[in-house]
Structure 1
Amino acid sequence: MDYFSIYAVFGVNDPPQRLTRAKERECYSIAVPSAVQQVVVFSNGRWGKRTDVKVELTDPDKSPITLGNLTPDRKCISWECWEGNAGSSGLMLTASLEGDSPVNEEFDGMADPHFVLSKKESTPKFSGVPASVREAQGKRKRGREEDQETGSRGQENVCPNSYPSQKSTPQRKVRGSARSNHKQFFTHSNEQADPDVPQGHKVKGKQARASTQTVSLSTPSGRWGQTLCPIDPQTAILIGGQGSRMQFCKDPMWKLCTEDLSWVPAETLAEGPTPEGRIGHTATFDPESRRIFVFGGSKNKKWFNDVHILDTRSWRWTMVEAQGKVPPLAYHSCSLFRGELFVLGGVFPRPHPKPDGCSDCLYIFNPEMAIWYQPIVNGDRPAPRSGHSACVLQGKIFVFGGWDTPVCFNDMHVLDLGLMEFSPVKTNGAPPSPRSWHGCAVLSDSKFLVHGGYNGNNALEDAFIFDTASSSWTTVVNPHFSAVPRAGHSIITMANAYTEESMEDGEQKMGLETCPQTLFIFGGGDNEGSFFSDLTTLLIDEILN
């Protein structure tokens, strides 16, 4: 059956309502409540051959008001009226297909196709967010997937710890307390987890120059396996992640404004086909082209090797039809160097010819040519792994940690991008314990941070700095890192804001040289059933000093 329907939201506080479809015709309609001044219309289901749906407000005594056209690339439109028909009654909202398209619509067994969605099915109400962006969570129905068994092994993305209800603020476990094995949500190789989502979490206590944003209805839902990608000193883009009840987040894309630490739903801000919900993918920003490259990841039994590009200047998604071959991968690393993407390691989908299920290969994507290729690499490459970290410093990619069942790593390898040669790094100082799904961020020209992660039994809470100049590890002591154990979280560094310098002609120029850098930590889970949507900020100078 071809499920396709049109919904409308009348005002900020009302749930979506489904338009009634005329029998044997693709013409939908619904009566508009009186005194409505704001309407949001969106589609739900498979478009198939449909290409254009015209949406109008009709009045028996007046000419119709055209609100716009729904298309496969523009599945939501909004209309506001502060005068004219705002107070009139008898208006009808109609949506009609322009052009022929055979349809066999399914109404999910409901006798009356005109109904109001229940709270369980409707888009969550975002207090203070305009109705025109609320469709970000409702335009694509991300329903339950086929495989939702709990506690089974050998299946992709299965969470042995599925909670039937939302949890409140997580409480840190006392060291030495019993941790039952059935509460582990992090598993490896084709068994990646579906964490449950708490509605709220915050780190208690006030610390100098540090702030924590608590969860509210205007922030992303709790998740892990997402990406947080900075695109300028004031903006970062959150993509994907896995949410409550083993479902992928229905709010998969957000924009973080670092000036006031506010979140804005962003799925409808960009045109074009958005990437399907996923975890274990990578999102890499190229500052020269101003584009975000999203690659790979997994969703239950579906694994990806597609490349989606978001142009942050035009705010449009495109999917690349690339030449060359790259296998479907999840929990790989992706590093940008001289305009090319270097993808290393990752988990293969199951079944796979390799018994370990992990990759030790390096693939390069050239965006200009839209081609994948494998370079000739010399030296001692890292063992196959996933959930590792990789960062670029001084023309080299430093690879740390990861997992390949049943081994968890804490070794360091470096890839010289000039020589294309791998070599192990002999480090000084006490290194981090073996871990995967940790957070990693570059702090300076010669230092990067490793925080948290998962060691096969527990989520971790410690933090370390690696100095590439001395090849030494240093333990970081900071209460915000050790507030709660977490893994599968995102860590990024950004400048606080642009600085303004006066010029003789009266104009302002922007500079980054004097901007203090800030570290942002978002999301993840503690392997005890709690998953976070908190946002913690720390000044990098305080971490390094």
Structure 2
Amino acid sequence: MEDFGVYAIFGVDEPPQQILRRDGWQSSVEIQPSVQLMVLFSRGDWGKRDSISVELADERDIPINMGKLTPFNKCLSWEAGEDGVWSCGATLTVKLSGGTSDFLDPVLTVSQMECTPECNSTAPVLRECPGKRKWSQGEEEEEEEEINEGRGKENICPNASQKATPHRRGKNNGRGGQTRLFSQKEEQTTTSSAQSHKAKGKQAKTPSQTAPLDKPSGRWGQTLCPIDPQTAILIGGQGSRMQFCKDPIWKLCTEDLSWVPAETLAEGPTPEARIGHTATYDPESKRIFVFGGSKHKKWFNDVHILDTQSWRWTLVEAQGKVPPLAYHSCSMFRGELFVFGGVFPRPHPEPDGCSDSIYIFNPDMAIWYQPIVNGEKPAPRSGHSACVMQGRIFVFGGWDTPVCFNDMFMLDLGLMEFSAVKTSGTAPSPRSWHGCAVLSDCNFLIHGGYNGNNALSDTFIFNTDTSCWSSLLLPQLNSFPRAGHSIITMPITWRKGSIDEEEDLPESAPQTLLVFGGGDNEGSFFSDLYTMPVEELRRD
């Protein structure tokens, strides 16, 4: 096979240009303002190479877009409509980030052109903002205003609000109406332990997040999906400076709480980087279904399937219609996916509009359809939680500008009928982007979230038999507010020879609560992994 190379096409009428040769490891290209489309692809034998990282950087050398070429994902593309309008000063860089090479040509510069995507890494204004965002101070604030003036609105991280009453934003916020996604702390490096969260806020700025080799980088908006009693799969997420994570897929071994980077472990087309998606595991077919989400101005309604037996990704060519959605919920029941709510992309008749519809995906027939649903439907919302218990889906909380919810609805999956749940006890305050996990046949847990002004740290348990809320004090978990995090339950697994081996509980019951990631609305993005035996929660 011919020698390996990475090529780029700048515009539909331009021929491919080779930008990384067989013996190279890094290349930088500047792009003309007239470029409206870019396509990168590899050709030839990858050999021992694992992946090629791709970055777009603005005139200050701050990365504004990222992706990877791998032996199983050999093409990346950008369009002006989805990731910005090219203007001036940006650079495209490709770099060998795995495997081996001859390293004979350390840097290859192709041409001297100019470009800058509209989507700037520092603070593009996104469209799903629950409240006003925080401003930075001094000259940096003025700089951000100039950069973001006239930019489009997109989806927004929940951890980003000024402490003020949430409001619906107009279509054209002029200069002075633009706000930063985070405060000055947004540039800090993410922390890996609870004790260091606040200390990290004092660190110097870093132009991009750097992922440790032994665990995921700090992030929010990801999914963490259990696939067996010892393994969970982490997919997607976004970290500091609104950068989509360079390390989007990880495998968690719960036996020793170790992480393994897994982006190149599976064959087939991996899902494009995204946040606000769902990843749902079907224990019968042993497959993970990834649906929806967003990436800058690009919104998805695709379905990617990861077969955990063959470790192969498949992009489904589904029939039927489902709108592009982000921050929706997705529940598996009898082999079908039930998608509820979520926020629509622009353009859409309703600014920041959310869905109140149910869409069902049947994997066997690869078809989407809408069921007839009766009863009292929940108001449109996004960022809510949903869990399946005893043939019912319980929907809690969420957001639809300018309202944040703390109501509860139940969908009877036999009758396909919604009903409002009248609850008692100490209910959680209104919130979205909280964590939710099923603890038993009749209990589920709610933790953290975002109320339009602040990230939250409180914890509650709901009993579906009594319809009663109870608050829970967990000092380690309640000490640090977070939203956009992941919460799952998994069986306890002890390492062979553990002194606690005799105390091992039945493998069939979920025994351990795991909490990963999220953000605190103060610029920190977490990569810590918190665990607690579920039995302790039940005793409380």
Q: Which residue of 1 aligns with 2:482?
A: 486
Q: Which residue of 1 aligns with 2:341?
A: 345
1:458 partner letter: N
Structure 1 residue 241: deviation in Å?
0.4
Q: Which residue of 2 aligns with 1:521?
A: 515
Give the conservation status (yes or no) of the 8 Å contact 1:388–1:401. yes
Question: Is 1:200–2:191 an aligned residue pair?
Answer: yes
Question: Residues 368 and 455 (structure 1 numbering): CA distance in 2 closer, same or farther, change over 3 Å?
Answer: same
1:428 partner letter: S
Question: Is 1:54–2:45 an aligned residue pair?
Answer: yes
Question: Is 1:30–2:50 an aligned residue pair?
Answer: no
Question: Residues 422 and 245 (structure 1 numbering): CA distance in 2 closer, same or farther, change over 3 Å?
Answer: same
**Aligned with 2:304 (options 288, 301, 308):** 308
- The DSSP-based 3-state class of the residue aligned with 1:54 is coil
Percent sequence identity over aligned pairs: 63
Question: Is 1:230–2:226 an aligned residue pair?
Answer: yes
Question: Is 1:250–2:241 an aligned residue pair?
Answer: no
Give the conservation status (yes or no) of the 8 Å contact 1:187–1:456. no
- Cα deviation, 1:392-423, whole Å, max 9, x if unaligned, reads 00000000000011110000000000000000
Give the TM-score normalised by structure 2: 0.69
Give the conservation status (yes or no) of the 8 Å contact 1:410–1:433. yes
Question: Is 1:147–2:141 an aligned residue pair?
Answer: no
Question: Residues 29 and 462 (structure 1 numbering): CA distance in 2 closer, same or farther, change over 3 Å?
Answer: closer
Give the conservation status (yes or no) of the 8 Å contact 1:218–1:264. yes
Q: Which residue of 1 aligns with 2:420?
A: 424
Q: Which residue of 2 aligns with 1:394?
A: 390
Question: Is 1:260–2:256 an aligned residue pair?
Answer: yes
Give the conservation status (yes or no) of the 8 Å contact 2:383–2:398. yes
Structure 1 residue 5: deviation in Å?
4.3
Structure 1 residue 351: deviation in Å?
2.5
Question: Is 1:283–2:279 an aligned residue pair?
Answer: yes
Question: Is 1:406–2:402 an aligned residue pair?
Answer: yes
How many residues are treated as equivalent by the alignment? 421
Question: Is 1:540–2:534 an aligned residue pair?
Answer: yes
Give the conservation status (yes or no) of the 8 Å contact 2:6–2:19. no
2:70 partner letter: K
Distance 2:180 2:353 in 1: 12
Give the conservation status (yes or no) of the 8 Å contact 1:452–1:485. yes
**Aligned with 2:525 (options 521, 531, 544):** 531
Distance 1:540 1:24 in 2: 56
- The DSSP-based 3-state class of the residue aligned with 1:480 is helix
Give the conservation status (yes or no) of the 8 Å contact 2:279–2:291. yes
Q: Which residue of 2 aligns with 1:465?
A: 461
Moved more, 154-163 or 322-331: 154-163
Structure 1 unaligned blocks of 5 or more: 8-22, 32-39, 57-66, 78-107, 124-129, 133-142, 165-178, 206-214, 501-509
- The DSSP-based 3-state class of the residue aligned with 2:536 is helix
- The DSSP-based 3-state class of the residue aligned with 1:543 is helix
Q: How do residues 426-445 of structure 1 correspond to structure 2 at under 5 angstroms?
A: 426-445=422-441
Question: Residues 302 and 400 (structure 1 numbering): CA distance in 2 closer, same or farther, change over 3 Å?
Answer: same
Structure 1 residue 496: deviation in Å?
1.7
Give the TM-score normalised by structure 1: 0.68
Q: Which residue of 1 aligns with 2:55?
A: none
1:473 partner letter: W
Distance 2:410 2:426 in 1: 19
1:75 partner letter: T
Question: Residues 413 and 529 (structure 1 numbering): CA distance in 2 closer, same or farther, change over 3 Å?
Answer: same
Structure 1 residue 287: deviation in Å?
0.6
Give the conservation status (yes or no) of the 8 Å contact 1:188–1:404. no
Distance 1:30 1:5 in 2: 9
Give the conservation status (yes or no) of the 8 Å contact 2:161–2:454. no
Distance 1:192 1:274 in 2: 31
Q: Which residue of 2 aligns with 1:446?
A: 442
Q: Which residue of 1 aligns with 2:205?
A: none
Question: Residues 196 and 540 (structure 1 numbering): CA distance in 2 closer, same or farther, change over 3 Å?
Answer: farther
Distance 1:74 1:416 in 2: 44
2:119 partner letter: D
Root mean square deviation of aligned Cα: 4.2
Q: Which residue of 1 aligns with 2:377?
A: 381
- The DSSP-based 3-state class of the residue aligned with 1:30 is coil
Distance 1:340 1:229 in 2: 17
Give the conservation status (yes or no) of the 8 Å contact 2:125–2:181. no
1:377 partner letter: V
- Cα deviation, 1:245-298, whole Å, max 9, x if unaligned, reads 221111111111111111111000011111110110000000111100000001
Question: Residues 263 and 474 (structure 1 numbering): CA distance in 2 closer, same or farther, change over 3 Å?
Answer: same
- The DSSP-based 3-state class of the residue aligned with 2:476 is coil
Question: Residues 317 and 201 (structure 1 numbering): CA distance in 2 closer, same or farther, change over 3 Å?
Answer: same
Distance 1:122 1:332 in 2: 35
2:192 partner letter: H
- Cα deviation, 1:23-71, whole Å, max 9, x if unaligned, reads 999994439xxxxxxxx999x99465x7x51367xxxxxxxxxx69999
Distance 1:74 1:355 in 2: 35
Question: Residues 524 and 162 (structure 1 numbering): CA distance in 2 closer, same or farther, change over 3 Å?
Answer: farther
